[in-house]
């Protein structure tokens, strides 16, 4: 699972260097939400049931999620609205 997180992080870097800022911001949010869901629904229950599986890298990965996850309810044109789509917040 940690390698999946690393691959997702690398994909964000790739999108940042190859796409527009608007697409990058949207993609980064989607990846952050996916990583948070994986952590919440897969990893946390697994670690709760099997604490011996906890690795030091886990704390590093968890510390990076807030830095990647921008405010979901940003205002303004080109920002992400409640649906997670690009556009004006309503």
Residue 30 in any domain: the answer is yes
β strands within the chain, DSSP E: none
- The answer to whether residue 47 is domain-embedded is yes
Residues 32 and 53: their CA atoms lie apart, in Å, by 23
Q: Into how many domains does the chain fold?
A: 1
Contacts 24+ apart (CB under 8 A), 24-27: 25/70, 25/80, 26/80, 26/85, 26/86
In a domain, 22, yes or no: yes
pLDDT band for position 20 (50/70/90)? very high
Q: Which pLDDT tens digit goes with each residue over 45-76?
A: 988 898 888 876 665 566 555 555 554 434 44
The answer to the question of residue 85 being in a domain is no
Q: Does residue 76 belong to any structural domain of this protein? A: no
pTM score of the predicted model: 0.60
Rounded distance, CA 76 to CA 90, Å? Answer: 9
Residue 64 maps to a domain: yes
- Residue 42 within a domain: yes
Give the range of the structural domain holding residue 62, as residue numbers without chain letter: 2-68
């Amino acid at each position: 699972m940690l390698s999946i997180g690393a691959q997702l992080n690398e994909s964000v870097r790739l999108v940042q260097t190859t796409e527009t800022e608007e697409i990058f911001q949207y993609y980064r949010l989607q990846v952050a939400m996916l990583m948070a869901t994986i952590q919440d629904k897969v990893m946390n229950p697994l670690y709760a049931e099997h604490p011996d599986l906890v690795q030091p890298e886990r704390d590093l990965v968890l510390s990076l999620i807030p830095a990647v996850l921008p405010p979901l309810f940003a205002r303004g044109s080109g920002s992400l609205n409640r649906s997670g789509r690009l556009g004006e917040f309503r």
